[in-house]
Amino acid sequence: MLEKLIILDFGSQTTQLIARRIRELNTYCEVYPYNKLPEDLTGVRGIILSGSPYSVYDSKAFRIPLDEIRGRLPLLGICYGAQSLVDQAGGKVESCETREYGRAHLEFKQADDALLKGLQPGTTVWMSHGDTITALPSGFDVIAGTEDVPYAAFRIEGEQTWGVQFHPEIYHSEEGTKLLGNFLDICGMKRDWTPASFIETTVQELRNKLGDDKVILALSGGVDSSVVAVLLNKAIGSNLTCIFVDHGLLRKGEFERVLQDYEHLGLNVIGVNAKEKFFSALKGVTDPEEKRKIIGRGFIEVFDEEAHKLEGIKWLGQGTIYPDVIESLSITGMVIKSHHNVGGLPERMNLRLVEPLRTLFKDEVRRVGLELGMMPHLIHRHPFPGPGLGIRILGEITEEKATILQNADDIYMSLMREWGLYDQVWQAGVILLPVRSVGVMGDERTYEYTVALRAVTSMDAMSADWAHLPYDFLAKVSNEIINKVRGVNRVVYDISSKPPSTIEWE
Ligand code: XMP
């Protein structure tokens, strides 16, 4: 039985971070909306209540009867979670006169509390709230305070319930991970959830679930779908068929390279060259959303056609990962995932979905991939959009423009690797602009395209900064592109951050 911790999400922006920290402690955890605690708590060893954008006294605040949870399992309330415990038990939570944001130092009020075990007196914690607990209910014992907050942490007598008003999940809380680790010890968790144990359990589960059924999977060359393929291959071998479509808008040489990698990994892959179909469907189209739709639709058609050549397929594999799942369950609905390239595929094909990475974060997917023996270059590649260069050619897409862009992009990416910059940026690429300008080459006047170089640093693509690449490097890239790529006579560098810009131009 897989042991796990449950995090009830009251809408805080840091709920995912709590899950990240717990996972870093080699412990499996799941996030549920605050009012969706599963009835069956078999295997659950403890519960964390997250923070919230609301105050406990707001009329819109998310409320559940906490006395139904208290005492059943070890419980830790964080920020709003802690304040709710106090509020519901008859204590007082009030708006602070001075909102406390930022660093504070913990003073311990009780020796030997299990939650604070091993933490240094004065340790820095990160506060972020406009409310504070001003009176504890009876039976609640303060265990730590800060200069401005008398009840920074408390414990409920006779229960394994704690509350902290600061955020241990935020990196600035120096010993936050240690505190969360202490809570896992209180829950009696073994902390043995590793990539290797994930692979072992998942492969077994896949075998049980799929039996002798046949599965089809669309590969994109990206990390998630590749790791799904190798996992499924390990579980069901040749009952998995993978399809990799070349829509003509991949990077230069990418189709051949990735196909070779897949074959090397022992996957049963069908590579489909569908360039002409895509270029002819895109002819004359300039509207970006329309272009995205055409590419998405074309992809589904090719995939569907290939799938029909195979017999007895029952399942569709997909590289859905945990952030997608959390976002789609999000109670506040603040995050909307806008890039579902193959939406509609399962319905159209009447297949059941198998998504073995549903519970993993991106870096965990990478660790699992490496553990599975996949090549590091396949695991550490930059994200690349499904519609590929299609969203980096502004205006009408033609095969000629795709070739120009592929050549420029190839020079940029090769030099980036050569200069050791590839792993320092989140993602990079070249954009072909529908702008021609005048230049001179030898004695001749030219009138050719402009390309923009883009490189960003980011943690999750939700926000991004332009990468401060060395001038010497940019100079080299510009020279190489202008000298070697026919059709381009001007190179510019994009210095916009997201927000308000986006990573891609279209
Ligand atoms: P933006 O441009 O929204 O990009 O800042 C955020 C991340 O999403 C990728 N992206 C896409 N991925 N289909 C995809 O599969 C798309 O239509 C698409 N548009 C953007 C982008 O590369 C970045 O990683």
Query: Domain of 127: which CATH number?
Result: 3.40.50.880
Rounded CA-CA distance 466/494 in Å is 7
pTM, full prediction: 0.81
DSSP string, 336-363: -----TTTTHHHHHT-EEE-TTTT--HH
Q: Do 80 and 133 reside in the same domain of the chain? A: yes
330 C-beta closer than 6 A to ligand 1? no
- 501 among the known binding-site residues? no
Please give the full DSSP string across 153-175, using - where no structure is assigned: EEEETTTTEEEESS-TTSTTSTT
At 397-417, the pLDDT tens digits run 999 999 999 999 999 999 999
For residues 245 and 272, state if they share a domain: yes
Catalytic residue of the set 167, 247, 254, 364:
167
- Looking at the structure, tell me whether residues 348 and 464 fall in a common domain: no
How many Å apart are CA 106 and CA 123, to the nearest integer? 6
Q: Is 461 in the pocket of ligand 1 (CB under 6 A)?
A: yes
Model confidence at 460: pLDDT above 90: no
Clarify whether residues 116 and 252 are in a common domain. Answer: no
pLDDT of residue 368: 97
Q: Averaged over 338-352, what is the pLDDT?
A: 64
Angle at 206 between CA 203 and CA 212, to 5 degrees: 120
pLDDT tens digits, one per residue of 11-20: 998 898 899 8
Per-residue confidence band for 332, with pLDDT thresholds at 50, 70 and 90? low
In a domain, 126, yes or no: yes
Is residue 288 located within the same domain as residue 405? no
pLDDT at 345 over 90: no
Average pLDDT, the chain: 92
Tell me the per-residue pLDDT of 252-286, one tens digit each, with 9 for 90 and over. Answer: 999 999 999 999 999 999 999 999 999 999 999 99
Whether 341 lines ligand 1, by a CB cut-off of 6 Å, is: yes
Q: Domain check: are 350 and 286 in the same one? A: yes
CA distance 110 to 200: 43
With cut-offs at 50, 70 and 90, classify the pLDDT of residue 100: low
Residue 387 falls inside a structural domain: no
Atom 22 of ligand 1, residue of closest alpha carbon: 385
Look up residue 442 and give its two tokens.
């030898």
Q: Are residues 356 and 434 in the same domain?
A: no
In the predicted structure, residue 336 carries a pLDDT above the cut 60: no
Out of 3, 29, 129, 169, which one is annotated catalytic? 169
How many structural domains are present in the chain? 3
Q: Last residue of a domain, which of 318, 351, 379?
A: 379
CA atoms within 13 A on the CB side of 283: 6
At residue 462, the pLDDT reads 78
CATH number of the domain bearing residue 397 = 3.30.300.10
**290 close to 202: Cβ distance less than 8 angstroms:** no
Calculate mean pLDDT across residues 206-217.
Answer: 97
What are the pLDDT digits (tens) for 45-73? 999 999 999 999 999 999 999 999 999 99
Q: Can you give the residue range of the structural domain that contains 290?
A: 195-379
Residue 450 within a domain: yes
Q: Which two tokens stand for residue 77?
A: 């309330």
Same domain, yes or no: 226 and 330: yes
Is 402 contained in some domain? yes
| Mean pLDDT (whole number) for 433-444 | 92
Domain membership flag for residue 483 = yes
Residue 460 lies in a domain: yes
For the chain, report the end-to-end CA distance as a whole number of angstroms.
Answer: 46
- Would you say the CB of residue 427 lies under 6 angstroms from ligand 1? yes
- Is there a catalytic annotation at residue 97? no
Point out the least confidently predicted range of 76-85, 116-125, 435-444, 446-455.
Answer: 435-444
Same domain for 157 and 20: yes
Q: How far apart (Å, rounded) are the C-alpha atoms in residues 194 and 26?
A: 6
Alpha-helix residue ranges (DSSP H) falling in 9-96: 15-24, 80-88
Pick the residue whose CA is nearest to atom 14 on ligand 1.
Answer: 385
Angle at 240 between CA 237 and CA 246, to 5 degrees: 130
> Is the same domain home to 220 and 275?
yes
Task: Verify whether ligand 1 is closer than 6 Å to residue 298 (CB atom).
Answer: no
> Do 17 and 116 fall within a single domain?
yes
130: three-class secondary structure by DSSP: strand
**92 within some domain:** yes
Give residue-wise pLDDT tens across range 22-31: 999 999 999 9
Q: Give, using CA atoms, the residue closest to atom 11 of ligand 1.
A: 385
Please give the pLDDT value at position 127: 87
Residue 385 maps to a domain: no
The CATH number of the domain holding residue 294 is 3.40.50.620
Q: Nearest 10 degrees: CA dihedral of 379, 404, 465, 378?
A: 0
pLDDT confidence of residue 335: 38
User: CA 31, CA 474: separation in Å to the nearest integer?
Assistant: 43
Ligand 1 nearest-atom number relative to CA 386:
15
Q: Is the CB of 237 under 6 A from ligand 1?
A: no
In a shared domain, residues 476 and 340? no
- Please give the pLDDT value at position 441: 85
Which token pair is 213? 């059924």
222 is in an annotated binding site: yes
Domain end, chosen from 187, 213, 243, is at 187
Element (H, E) at 242: strand 240-246
169 part of the active site? yes
Q: What is the rounded average pLDDT of the residues 292-301?
A: 93
pLDDT interval class at 323 (50, 70, 90): confident
Domain end residue (candidates: 152, 169, 187):
187
